[in-house]
Chains A and B, each alone.
Chain A
Amino acid sequence: MNDDSLLTLIINASLPVQLVMLLLLGASVFSWALMYVKRGYIRQSQAEAKTFEGRFWSGINLSDLFAQLSVRQDRRFGLEAIFENGFREFARARKAELDNSEVVRSAHRAMKVSMSREIELLETNLPFLATVGSVSPYVGLFGTVWGIMESFRALSGVQQATLAMVAPGISEALIATAMGLLAAIPAVVAYNKFTSEIDAMIVRYENFLEEFTGILQRQAQSPR
């Protein structure tokens, strides 16, 4: 223990402790990458919802808006997808000469389905962050307990035990807990932030869905 750098501590650790450290490092790397991806997706969804709402409430004719959307080739997501599916279903049902209330109901159903798909897309992989946040402290703790066990067992054969003999082993073992906490804290923070943001997005989608259903209901009543 002359060279007390962190690297030597890690290299001198026993194999199970090293495995635990590796596992935690991997979890941390993946959770950070996931945070980056997720944050990008949520930001994109928010921006899309904002622009689409702006366009929708700008007084544009609904069939014009639908035509503009269906011309575009890229995949639609968020409010655009909900609107497109709802309006397509509405037009189809009206063409089929269905009852007015039936027309609105089928459009509503289609929009609900597309909304739940959007929500699912927003929420994918969030459980991984939650798992990292809740489990990695325990994994780190396991590594520490194991390391301390080892260092005490090494002490059993010695006549005069000093603190200097156990200290490096315990210090070695504690690194595992530190790493577990280091992996868990950002994951928990990010998980909470993302869930609240996604909840806000869901409320936004639901509001739009209800309002749009109202508009469709009024349009259904007008003569064909």
Chain B
Amino acid sequence: MLAELLRHPRALLLSLALHVVVIGIMFINFHFADRPNLIKAGQVEQTVKAEVVEQQQLEAMQQQKQREAEKLREAERKKKEQEAKKLADKKKKEAEKKRKAEEKKKAELKRKKEAEDKRKVEAKRKADEKRKADEKRKAEEKRRTEEKRKAEEKRKAEEQRIAEEKRKAEEKRKAEEARIAEEKRKAEEERKAEEARIAEEKRKAEEQRRLAAEEQKRKEAELKAKLQAEETQRRLSSLQEAYKLAILQKVRRNWIRPPGSEKIPECWVRVIQGPGGIILDVTFSTCKGSTQTYRASIESAVYKAEPLPKPGDPSLFARELNFNFKPE
């Protein structure tokens, strides 16, 4: 088997290619097919529910614990507050004593501070005067630079404006040029299209003419062929007639009239012939009112006529011949 297949590598290759294509199509189909994930979804839901139930129980327990703890804490707090109050009273009295001593010390300090303040105010006033003179000078300077800057800016704006105007004019000119070029191009295109249209029309007309000429030629050729075919047909049919007649005559020549046959019936004889005019089989399709001897005489006449005459044209040879046998 392998040897025969190796003698036809093309077949093997074709088969392989077919398989590759089929398998490829299957892969693609499988990849696109959506598969429902029902089983997984069900599982997830169940576990979630179970978790929720447990959580609720846990939360209730925790809340109770919390409440108890809070009560305990409240009692503790109250006790502490009372103790703290007592302590605070004691502290207050001590503080009062301390505060009075402190006030005395403060008055002393205040006096000292006032003298110091006076001195400071004097120094501040002098410094202020100096600062003011400075500021005035600085303001003057600033004003001057500001004026300069403004003048500069104005000049620049003017320059920019001029440049802008120039640019705009340039742009306008360019747009105008582009428009003109566009118009020119359009006109050119139109002209070309027109030319193409005319050429196309010409070509079409040419084509039509050519087709018409071809049609004419074809018709002529057809007519000629038809005539020729008719001619050969005529020749063949005449040849066929001659062929049939030749066979019939040869059979008739070989026929010996059997004795005692006054009434001559018509018989359709069917002859099967082989290559070279060999008789293979003789049968009678219709042979009304004939006797056995009569039929036998015809059969022997056909066999004696072997080999049957050849047709004028080989294509006329017929394996099966049917002819009406009747003596003159």
Instruction: State whether B278 touches A25 (Cβ < 8 A).
Output: no
- Residues on A with C-beta less than 8 A from B5 are 30, 33-34, 37
Instruction: State whether A211 touches B280 (Cβ < 8 A).
Output: yes
Instruction: State whether A58 touches B15 (Cβ < 8 A).
Output: no
Contact indicator per residue, chain A 6-33, by CB within 8 Å of chain B (1) or not (0): 1100000000000000000100111011
Instruction: State whether B30 touches A4 (Cβ < 8 A).
Output: yes
- Residues on A with C-beta less than 8 A from B278 are 215, 218-219
Chain A interface: which size bin? 20 to 34
Query: Quick one: given A36-B14, A37-B4, A37-B5, are A60 and B275 in contact (CB under 8 Å)?
Result: yes
Chain A min CB distance to B323 (Å)? 17
Q: Does A154 contact B (CB under 8 A)?
A: no
List, sorted by A's number, 16 A–B pairs whose CB atoms are closer than 8 Å. Answer: A6-B26, A25-B19, A33-B8, A33-B14, A33-B15, A34-B1, A36-B15, A37-B5, A58-B317, A59-B317, A60-B314, A61-B276, A65-B275, A125-B4, A162-B43, A215-B274
Chain B min CB distance to A36 (Å)? 4
Q: Does A5 contact B (CB under 8 A)?
A: yes
Instruction: State whether B1 touches A57 (Cβ < 8 A).
Output: no
A:185-223 near B, CB below 8 Å: 211, 214-215, 218-219, 222
Instruction: State whether B15 touches A32 (Cβ < 8 A).
Output: yes
Chain A min CB distance to B287 (Å)? 24
Instruction: State whether B19 touches A29 (Cβ < 8 A).
Output: yes
* Chain B interface, number of residues (Cβ within 8 angstroms): 33
Instruction: Give the one of B30, B35, B278, B279 with max A CB within 10 A.
Output: B278
Chain A min CB distance to B318 (Å)? 8
Q: Does B149 contact A (CB under 8 A)?
A: no
Q: Does A164 contact B (CB under 8 A)?
A: yes
Instruction: State whether B18 touches A32 (Cβ < 8 A).
Output: yes
Instruction: State whether A57 touches B275 (Cβ < 8 A).
Output: yes
Query: Quick one: given A29-B15, A34-B5, A162-B39, are A5 and B275 in contact (CB under 8 Å)?
Result: no
Instruction: State whether B11 touches A5 (Cβ < 8 A).
Output: no
A56 to B27, CA, bound (A): 55
Instruction: State whether B1 touches A215 (Cβ < 8 A).
Output: no
A36 to B11, CA, bound (A): 6
Q: Which residue of A lies closest to B30 (CB)?
A: A6
A6 to B317, CA, bound (A): 65
Query: Quick one: given A36-B11, A59-B310, A65-B275, are A29 and B16 in contact (CB under 8 Å)?
Result: yes
Instruction: Give the one of B18, B310, B315 with max A CB within 10 A.
Output: B18
Chain B min CB distance to A43 (Å)? 13
A33 to B278, CA, bound (A): 46
- Residues on A with C-beta less than 8 A from B317 are 57-59
Q: Does A62 contact B (CB under 8 A)?
A: yes
Chain B min CB distance to A218 (Å)? 5
- Residues on B with C-beta less than 8 A from A36 are 8, 11, 14-15
- Residues on A with C-beta less than 8 A from B11 are 33-34, 36-37, 40
Q: Does A96 contact B (CB under 8 A)?
A: no
Q: Which 7 A-B pairs have the closest CB atoms?
A: A59-B317, A32-B15, A33-B15, A36-B11, A215-B274, A33-B11, A6-B30
- Residues on A with C-beta less than 8 A from B306 are 218, 222
Q: Does B319 contact A (CB under 8 A)?
A: yes
Q: Does A128 contact B (CB under 8 A)?
A: yes
- Residues on A with C-beta less than 8 A from B148 are none
A219 to B274, CA, bound (A): 10
- Residues on B with C-beta less than 8 A from A161 are none
Contact indicator per residue, chain B 23-55, by CB within 8 Å of chain A (1) or not (0): 000110011000100011001000000000000
Q: Does A124 contact B (CB under 8 A)?
A: yes
Q: Does A158 contact B (CB under 8 A)?
A: no
A6 to B22, CA, bound (A): 13
